[in-house]
Chains A and B, each alone.
Chain A
Amino acid sequence: MPALKVDNLAKTFTLKKPLFGAAPAGVRAVRPMSFQVETGETLGVVGESGCGKSTLARMLVGLLDASEGTIEIEGKALDNADPAKFGKLIQYVFQDPNSSLNPRKTIRQVMEAPLKRLYRMPRSEREARVSQIFASVNLREEFLERYPHEFSGGQAQRIGIARALAANPRIIVLDEPVSALDVSVQAQVLNLLADLKTEFGLTYLFITHDLAVVEAVSDRIMVLYFGSVVEIGDAKRIFANPRHPYTKLLAESAPVVGRPLTAPEQKGTELPDPLKPPPGCAFAGRCPNATDLCRTQEPELEPVGEDQLAACHHPIQD
């Protein structure tokens, strides 16, 4: 049984009806997408701004109601968006560690909130649990009485991770957990996440825009573009052997030491207008191999090669 099963999950943000005329169609931030994450697996989710990765994450933890589709965690369907119901099963680590901690609460208050509200734990049990978690994330217990502004970004992110762990979830959604951190601290946090995964038997959904980071932590990687999954594949191969032209573009754009500077082949950098999405493939406007078929018909996610899936009419072959 997969830890997380998402079936046709979609989110359309409705727009205000103008004074005259019919209501516009709405912005499809996440187009119907289905995927599974096995227990103990890390699924990396990559995409650029506007690809719907944060909307997807917020739906998965129940902060946002899905417009369509279902979320199943360990076989149990979660249909209503109620963070309190989701909280025990799936937790969230925010991008900006400082803004995710209430500046006027001590770390102990922050850490105890999920234990109090989700588990109704008595005081003594809460204290024991908080100490245990703090030990796992290598934080000193004296930090518990301090306020968030006294911590550096790396420490605050550890606290954010500790808070997510406190709820004892099965799955943690990590939304750009290291992109606000310095590189030397980033490695500490990534290694900590890997250790915690083994220690607590967790399943991760790791959302980022940094290809090198996602490759270093993930088992499988899912590439999003304009609200749709364009490619899913094994982390070891997906960037070395991309099937979708967008994945190829991403891999070639990432700055790599020793690779000469050339702007990769693409026609433009603009995303399609979300209010007027083009028919067919959303990437067609930037794609060097686009044909008339691409501009009229939306491609389905189909297996290409052994274990990769790509949504492309003309996938890149070996």
Chain B
Amino acid sequence: MTAFLKLLFRNRLAALGAVVLSVILILVLLTPVLPLQNPDITATADRFQKPFTEGHLLGTDHLGRDLLSRLLHGTRLSLAVGIAAALIAATIGSAIGIVAGYFGGRADNIIMRGVDMLMAFPYILLALAIVAALGPGLMNALIAVAAVNVPFFARNIRGITVGLAGREFIDAARLAGMGHIRIILTELLPNVLPVIIIAMSTTVGWMILETAGLSFLGLGSQPPQADLGSMLGEARSALISHPHTSVVPGIMIFLIVMSINLLGDGVRDALDPRLRSGALSRPRAMTLVERKGEVPAPTDDLLAIQDLQTQFHVGGRVYRAVGGVSLSVKQGECLGVIGESGSGKSVTALSVMGLVASPPGVITGGAVRFQGEDLIGASYESLRQKRGDRVAYIFQDPLSTLHPLYRVGRQLSEAIQSHHDIPKADAQARAVQLLRDVRIPNAEARVDNYPHELSGGMRQRVGIAMALANEPDVIIADEPTTALDVTVQAQILSLLDDLRRERGLAIIFITHDFGVVAQLCDRIAVMYAGRIVEEGPTSSVLEAPAHPYTKRLIACVPELGGGQRELAAIPGLPPLVDDLPPGCAFAPRCEKAQDTCRTSEVMLKGDTSRAVRCHYPEEAV
């Protein structure tokens, strides 16, 4: 709660709104005890007194009633009606939305078509019709405004509920023996409540305006009772001759609605989980670079990552996702990077082309050299020219990397045309050729498919085709087969292997699967807690792992053909990268760890062909 308030008040406009709104609220709450004149007593002799006259701070209206008193009483009434209408609309609308979203099917259809019918009428017409049917009066105006706003809540909440109702914890609740009503009340409601609050905070202002509108038309509060709308309505005839009678309630309406909207937006932003994690909604076009220390000298590798350090700065915490990683690939070479989640393998890969989201990502040291040129210090324009052209990526989930609304051929030709100035027809022809290159049968027809029309394996082939589109020198593949079925995986892997041999591609292949690495890669690097713990030729690392982590990781992966057995698990969990132990990061889980492991930093020992970061390696390197 305090965190929420802190976040809310960091937004200055929201804070301003909160201050104005609380002043108004305090004033209207104190209205009955304030020494005010009776708002309904007419004194025609004193009509249209100017503001700041004796006894009438804000002047009087056309019947000589004290405007200040009427304003405060009117605001009190308008706020009460607006908030009551919001609560009623939110309760009924959310109930409808949750029921429709949870049950789905026919119930959903019938309820939502009813809601659609309500929405088909212009809201003011609907409100007028309701008031006309029920007769004028503030209570009926409240009912009308609430009814008009029910569809807004129903639709919003239904959308959220549909997403939640498919989640596994709802199934789990059913398996735990809960009934529908209990699931709705205890499982769904707590999860949609923030959305209801956000929707309410952004619509209260609107509802106050609508109530004022009905009163302005004479359908809401009835004379002599004052509310903001009726005050405006009564002042209309004297708009030119005595403008203060309409300006006073007008300013009040403006202040209320403005402050509620500012506060509502603040509440929404503060409750939005994406903003809560400290990330802005739009990352920069390239990762922020704040390099300290010297930039390593160039090497003759095609792509060299040199002592790269990438951190995430979230709130006051620093997550050292990549803590000094050096890797390199030569032409035609395939380097496997293996590690568990959180080991920094993907962040290393994304840092190469400055694709780590900033904020919160910051590259704080090292260099990435492509043919000797440092990419970390490069300008955005030079980086953009190389992205996809010289260094291309293949990601894990092709369904989320392909644009769902464009045909795959169009996406492929766009990738080509953004780097090469060639006619559209040529780019399209090249797209067909690329699909053929990745062995998509019937490429001429497939080029016109949308991503959802392709199977997972076909989609990943399109992803590979897109990476190949500009004949890059290096492909960085981040778990490209993890989401695929094994029979498809085998084909994708052999496709990548063929392409690399045919075209002399360098591949950095990121995975957690030893079997895949063993089949595809020449060399592998094992990462743990943001660092490389072991590096070497694939066969030598897999057959004679030198780091205890590598050895035990290999041992705990079941291998086909081993039969039913107890697996050698590694106890404990990988450390969090915002709280790394002082010595070796693996020491707390390592059975060979000595005191030196827990206290002193371990360096990567060996040369580029075979190296290990361990005081007591399993094998001499």
Near B by CB (< 8 A), chain A positions 84-125 give 84, 86-87, 91-92, 94-96, 99-105, 110, 113-114, 117-118
| A160-201 Cβ-contact flags toward B at 8 Å (1 or 0) | 100100010000000000000011111110110010000000
B456 surroundings in chain A (CB, below 8 A): 49
State whether A48 touches B176 (Cβ < 8 A). Answer: no
Of B223-231, B324-332, B566-574, the one touching chain A: B566-574
If the complex has contacts A102-B191, A183-B553, are A236 and B563 also in contact, measured as CB distance less than 8 A?
Answer: yes
Residues of B within 8 A of A (CB): 167-169, 171-179, 182, 186-187, 190-191, 340-341, 441, 455-458, 485-491, 493-495, 497, 512-516, 518-520, 542, 552-553, 556-571, 573-574
Once the chains are docked, how many angstroms separate the CA of A101 from the CA of B514?
Answer: 31
Confirm or deny: A261 has a beta carbon within 8 angstroms of a beta carbon on chain B: yes
Q: B487's contact among A100, A155, A250, by CB below 8 Å, is which? A: A250
Q: What are the residues of chain B within 8 A of A117 when measuring CB–CB?
A: 176-178, 182
Whether the Cβ atoms of B563 and A254 lie closer than 8 Å is no
Query: Assuming A101-B169, A167-B175, A258-B518, is B564 touching A190 (CB within 8 A)?
Result: no
Given contacts A102-B169, A191-B569, A266-B487, contact A83 B174 (CB under 8 A): yes
Is the beta-carbon distance between B172 and A94 smaller than 8 angstroms? Answer: yes
Residue B489 contacts which of A160, A255, A266 (CB distance < 8 angstroms)?
A255
- Please state if A187 and B173 are interface contacts (CB–CB under 8 Å): no
Q: Which residues of B contact A259 (CB under 8 A)?
A: 518-519
Distance of B569 from chain A, by nearest CB (Å): 4
Does A84 lie within 8 Å of B177, measured CB to CB?
yes
Question: Are B569 and A187 in contact, CB atoms less than 8 angstroms apart?
Answer: yes
Does A219 lie at the interface of the complex (its beta carbon under 8 Å from any beta carbon of B)? yes
CA distance A99 to B456 in the complex (A): 23
Chain A interface (Cβ < 8 Å from any Cβ of B): 48-49, 58, 61-63, 83-84, 86-87, 91-92, 94-96, 99-105, 110, 113-114, 117-118, 152-155, 160, 163, 167, 182-188, 190-191, 194, 209, 211-213, 215-219, 235-236, 239-240, 249-264, 266, 268-271
Nearest-neighbour CB distance to chain A for B446, whole angstroms, equals 12
Min CB gap B465→A, angstroms: 16
A-B contact pairs, 29 of them (CB 8 A): A49-B456, A83-B174, A84-B178, A105-B187, A114-B175, A167-B175, A184-B340, A184-B570, A185-B340, A186-B556, A187-B557, A188-B569, A191-B566, A191-B567, A216-B562, A235-B563, A235-B564, A250-B486, A250-B487, A253-B486, A253-B487, A253-B490, A254-B486, A256-B561, A259-B519, A260-B519, A264-B487, A264-B490, A268-B441
Provide the bound-state CA to CA distance between A249 and B569, in Å: 29
CB-CB under 8 A from B569, the residues of chain A are 184, 187-188, 190-191
Which chain B residues border A62 with CB–CB below 8 Å? 175
In the complex, besides A184-B553, A263-B490, 20 extra interface pairs with C-beta distance below 8 angstroms are: A48-B486, A91-B175, A99-B167, A99-B168, A100-B171, A183-B340, A184-B552, A190-B569, A194-B566, A209-B486, A212-B562, A213-B558, A216-B564, A253-B486, A255-B489, A257-B514, A261-B493, A261-B494, A261-B519, A262-B494
Which residues in B have their C-beta under 8 angstroms from that of A236?
Answer: 563-564
A211 x B560 contact (CB < 8 A): yes
Residue of B169, B491, B515 touching A254 (CB-CB under 8 A): B515
CA distance A264 to B516 in the complex (A): 15
**B487, B520, B565, B566: which contacts A261 (Cβ < 8 A)?**
B520
List the B side residues contacting A260 at CB < 8 Å.
519
Contact indicator A182/B567 (Cβ below 8 Å): no
Complex formed: what's the CA distance from A219 to B179 in Å? Answer: 36
Residues on the B chain within 8 Å of A104, using CB = 190-191
Find B562's partner among A84, A215, A261 (CB 8 Å cutoff).
Answer: A215
Q: Is the CB of B515 within 8 A of A187?
A: no
Minimum CB distance partner of B560 in chain A: A212
Q: Is the CB of B556 within 8 A of A183?
A: yes
Residues of the A chain whose Cβ atoms lie less than 8 Å from the Cβ of B559: 212, 256-257
Cβ–Cβ contact B177 & A187, under 8 A: no
Whether B175 contacts A255 by the Cβ 8 Å rule is no
For residue B168, which residues in chain A have a CB less than 8 angstroms away from its CB?
94-96, 99-100
A167 to B178 alpha-carbon distance, docked (Å): 13
Chain B nearest CB, measured from A310 CB (Å): 18
Q: How far is the CA of A190 from the CA of B493 in the complex (A)?
A: 28
Instruction: Determine if B560 and A256 form an interchain contact, defined as CB atoms under 8 angstroms apart.
Output: yes
Please report the C-alpha to C-alpha distance between residue A279 and residue B518 in the assembled complex, in whole angstroms: 40
Contacts of B178 in A (CB 8 A): 84, 113, 117
Chain A nearest CB from B317 CB (Å) reads 16
| Beta-carbon contact of A269 and B560 below 8 Å | no
Q: Are A152 and B573 in contact (CB under 8 A)?
A: yes
A101 to B172 CA separation, bound complex (whole angstroms)? 8
Q: Are A261 and B513 neighbours in the complex by a CB distance under 8 Å?
A: no
A80 to B539, CA, bound (A): 55
Contact flag A256-B515 (CB < 8 Å), given A94-B168, A261-B520, A264-B490: yes
Chain A residue at minimal CB-CB distance from B194? A104
Whether A219 and B560, one on each chain, are in contact in the complex, defined by CB atoms closer than 8 angstroms, is no
The residue in chain A whose Cβ has the minimal distance to the Cβ of B341 is: A182
Q: What's the least CB distance linking A245 to chain B, in Å? A: 12
How far is B359's CA from A271's CA once the two chains are assembled, in angstroms?
42
Question: Shortest beta-carbon distance, B488 to chain A, in Å?
Answer: 5
Q: How far is the CB of A188 from chain B (nearest CB, A)?
A: 4
Name the one of B171, B457, B495 contacting A63, with C-beta atoms under 8 angstroms: B171
Determine if A187 and B560 form an interchain contact, defined as CB atoms under 8 angstroms apart.
no
The answer to whether A253 touches B175, judged by C-beta atoms less than 8 angstroms apart, is no
**Complex Cα–Cα for A263 and B497 (A):** 11
Which B residues are in CB contact (< 8 Å) with A261? 493-494, 497, 519-520
Q: How far is the CB of A103 from chain B (nearest CB, A)?
A: 7
B513 cross-chain contacts in A, Cβ below 8 A? 255
B310 to chain A, nearest CB (A): 21
Contacts of A266 in B (CB 8 A): 487
- Tell me whether B487 and A212 are in contact (CB under 8 A): no
Asked, given contacts A49-B485, A188-B569, whether A114 binds B556 with beta carbons under 8 Å apart, the answer is no
A207 to chain B, nearest CB (A): 14
